Amino acid sequence: MAERIPTMCLNCSTVCGMIAKVENGRILKLEGNPHDPNSRGKLCAKGQAAINMVEDPDRLLYPLRRVGQRGSGQWERISWDAAIAEISARLRRLRAEGRQTELMLQYGRDRTNGFLDRFADAFGTPNKLGHRGLCSLNKRMAIRASIGDTDWDTADFAESRYILNFGSNFYEAHQGHVGMLQRFAEAKRHGARMVTFDVRLSNTAAQSDEWIPIFPGTDGLVALAIGHVILRDDLQNTAFIHDWTNAPLEEWRAHYLRYTPEWAERESGVPANTIERIAHEFAAAAPCAATVSNRGTHAHRNGFYNEWAVVCLNALVGSIGERGGWGYIPGDVNKSAPQPSPLPPKPKSKTELSHPSEFPLVNELYPRAVSSTIYPYLAFGRANIDTMISYYVNAPMSWPEGPTFVRDVLLDEEIVPFHVAIDAFPSETVEVADIVLPDATFLEKWDLDARNSYDFRPYVGLRQPVVNPPGECKDIRDILIAIGKAVDEEMARFFPYENAEEFIREWAKAVPGGLDELKKTGVWVDENQPRHFRPYLQETGHRIGDPGIEVLKNGLVQLRENGTASAKVVGKLWRGKIVRGFATPDKRFQFKMPRLQQENLENDSEQNKEAYMYPSYVPIRAHSSLGENEYILTTFKWNVHTQSRTANQIWLTEIVGDNPCWIHPLTAVKFRIRHGETFCLKTLKTGSINSPTATASLHVTAHVTECIHPRALAISASFGHWKYGRTARGRGFNPNILIEANMDPIGGGQAWNDTVVRIESLQLEETLV
């Protein structure tokens, strides 16, 4: 009889609840866990194909040490004891010499939810650096800056009536995929409508009532123009603006005045009358109206402002926190299940890697998150490291100029003297490592995990081994516990656990029934909490007249503890009650951030500088003077692949095994490129960060389709491996050869969808010859 073991998927970051049917130590089938409040018993194709990941014939099985030159592919098998001894000796020396900041821990899909922090903090390095800046940083920055409570939105799709989608492909990707699309599909059956702005006809656009192709990087301007119409025609929610935003209605009006639908049409190509209509429809559906957005909107040089402008639409119509509106609920599992002590203190040191000086707002709101700077800074001496530990990350594939510049940096032993890769597959990161440690895959390891719940109640899910890892693979926690114990006694204090399971058992004590209960159900939902609507109106429990409670002139309520001089703001007075408000300094939604006038804004007169303290449109300079043969290269996620890491999962690669370049028929005809033919993309790099000006070029195959904006091209980032495994290797193209490190100066996020490319037809060249 097959056993049914609940766990959590990690084939993408949506982390759906999963049940593994296991017999004789092999997985027969992966299904959804109906107890998961987000995914409610459903998995996507990637989740079901994760069996391929476990049984991947190319998996790493043993610790390895490089014997030839770095990158030469020559390895010897070593024991775990030898590997741990070598790594810990190096780390011990760094600590003894006070060189803690010379350890850089580089990670990608880390769902240990705190264990990597424990390791970096215990060691004493601030350089725990993820892929956040490549992923969602601009969006998270804008949300955190405007509401403070969390960095992620959770629209109440189930009860929505109207969804305005700016560049999210949640039918195929997005961090909430399965939970979002199920609920929107339900709402749609009850008459809800969705309008999608995308440069491509994604499957989300296809499932919408309207697809509006948009010129890349102009979503923010369209959102501002929608706001213009709402305010001009007096369709806003005046009470919300008055009570809950940090600027009066007149100030909103004055700012939005300049963003006319006609201007938006000129820049974005979205007809002014469409903008007018959408504004009316959105406002009429409020409060059951919400925006959703993602990398289409924010993965640009002006991404922070674009996202902020989109979020403000919800404030304008007062749909924030409402049923059917734009909600928010923290998705961090540590809020429900705090980390077990002893916890190491956070290191006080800062480096240019953890806190790059050009990004003051990011360093304040989201330290350690600007990713694109890492390799240029290492290469050009702005940062100095001795040891790099890479975990679940593939920088030579995923970073801007990964296969070229980043790979070269990683090959250079002067820049990266010692590199340990903790991976499950022979990746392009493993290629450039000195020591390789084989990790267990997510179906063989332990975590507590959760996301923002589309059911609006916090929950805790369990990831547990459903089969034993093959060879000598070990759970990342076991690896870090072993290294932590071996470095020195002081560090070992924070790793008083026998193994990963013991740590999780301790952690899970925060949940009723603990680990034993979680092992059976896979998930615990905090049913005692009210569903998280209107969180800012929740009463704090304080009353006027309570000892120490003081209401200030601006409505803020502060508490002065018995006899102490310092007071803490605990909420805001609203209609006679003390409520939580937003987690910003003045407890309101931020429509104005005066400090942004001072930040490094690219252009413009003094007059415009003032406008930049509000959500604004910052034109992308490189796009303003596009030559006739120049196009904007965008990239996207395929529904059956996650980043490039599923490319060796054969069921998925049988469905999509290539990444041709989407090109509009008008463009194709102009360059005489036919469907399926190879053509060349070229960029002139500006050298803004990676010094010398240089060109890059890439041969791609054409996917000629009307489903793309005529001035845009699109390539998925799923392929282009030169290592990784027999199924993945040699398929498709890596667009990151063309894309240079280019960050939003405010939000710090990588501008993936801004690259200007020239098309060169190989056919035309041949005819000319």
Ligand X SMILES: Nc1nc2c(c(=O)[nH]1)N[C@H]1C(S)=C(S)[C@@H](COP(=O)(O)OP(=O)(O)OC[C@H]3O[C@@H](n4cnc5c(=O)[nH]c(N)nc54)[C@H](O)[C@@H]3O)O[C@H]1N2
Tell me which residues touch Mo ion (CB under 5 A).
135
Residue 481 near residue 500, CB atoms below 8 Å = yes
Q: State how far Cα 413 lies from the chain centre.
A: 30
Q: Does 312 bind ligand SF4 (CB under 6 A)?
A: no
Among 16, 365, 424, 704, binds ligand SF4 (CB under 6 A): 16
- Shortest Cβ 443–ligand SF4 spacing (Å): 11
Task: Give yes or no for residue 14 binding ligand SF4 (CB under 6 A).
Answer: yes
The 3-state DSSP class for residue 508 equals helix
Would you count residue 407 as binding ligand SF4 (CB under 6 A)?
no
State the residues that interact with ligand X by CB under 6 A: 12-13, 108-109, 131, 134-136, 166-170, 172-175, 177, 197-200, 202, 214, 216-217, 219, 294-297, 391-394, 398, 422-425, 427, 429, 439, 441-442, 634-637, 639, 641-643, 645, 714, 717, 735-736, 739, 752-753
Decide if residue 518 touches ligand SF4 (CB under 6 A). no
Ranges assigned E (strand) in 326-386: 326-327
| 686 vs 763 by CB, closer to ligand X | 686
When CB distances are held under 5 to 8 angstroms depending on the partner's kind, the choice from Mo ion, ligand SF4, ligand X, none that residue 43 binds is ligand SF4
d(CA 650, CA 665): 32
Tell me: does residue 15 bind ligand SF4 (CB under 6 A).
yes
CA distance 267 to 271: 10
End-to-end CA distance of the chain: 69
Part in contact with ligand SF4 (CB under 6 A); list of ranges 14-22, 101-109, 480-488, 617-625: 14-22
Q: Is 27 helix (H, G, I), strand (E, B) or coil?
A: strand
Looking at 10-18, 261-269, 413-421, 500-508, which segment touches ligand SF4 (CB under 6 A)? 10-18
Q: Which residues of 56-89 are buried (b: 16+ CB within 10 A; e: fewer)?
A: bebbbebbbebeeeeeeeebeebebeebbebbbe
With respect to ligand SF4, which residue has the nearer C-beta, 31 or 332?
31
Contact 470/61 with Cβ under 8 angstroms? yes
Q: Please choose, from the candidates 575, 617, 732, the residue with its C-alpha nearest in 3D space to the C-alpha of residue 242.
A: 575
The residue range among 42-50, 215-223, 481-489, 619-627 that interacts with ligand SF4, by the rule CB under 6 A, is: 42-50
| 51 lines the binding site for ligand SF4 (CB under 6 A) | no
Residue with tokens 């440069």: 199
12 binds ligand SF4 (CB under 6 A): yes
Closest approach, Cβ 166 to ligand X, in A, equals 5
Can residue 205 be called a binding residue for ligand SF4 (CB under 6 A)? no
Residue 414 to residues 88, 155, 185, 390, Cα–Cα distance (Å): 20, 48, 54, 17
Q: Which of 35, 40, 46, 451 binds ligand SF4 (CB under 6 A)?
A: 46
Number of residues that bind ligand SF4 (CB under 6 A): 13
For residues 740 and 622, the answer to whether their CB atoms sit within 8 Å is no
Kindly list the distances between the CA atom of residue 393 and the CA atoms of 228, 370, 427, 662, 704, in Å, as whole numbers in the listed order.
42, 15, 9, 27, 32
178 binds, among Mo ion, ligand SF4, ligand X, none (CB under 5 to 8 A by kind): ligand SF4
Partner interacting with residue 11 (select from ligand SF4, ligand X, Mo ion, none; CB below 5-8 Å by kind): ligand SF4
CB of residue 169 to ligand SF4, shortest distance in Å: 12
Q: Could you give the CA distance from residue 698 to residue 404 in angstroms, rounded to a whole number? A: 12
Residues in CB range of 426: below 8 A, 6 or more apart: 58, 60, 723, 724, 725
Rounded least distance, CB 610 to ligand X, Å:
26
Which residues ranging from 54 to 93 are in contact with ligand SF4 (CB under 6 A)? none
**How many Cβ atoms sit within 10 Å of the Cβ of residue 28?**
12
Instruction: Considering the complex, state which of residue 318 and residue 522 has its C-beta at the smaller distance from ligand SF4.
Output: 522
Closer of 208 and 394 to ligand X (Cβ) = 394
Q: Which residues bind ligand SF4 (CB under 6 A)?
A: 9, 11-12, 14-16, 39, 43-44, 46-47, 177-178
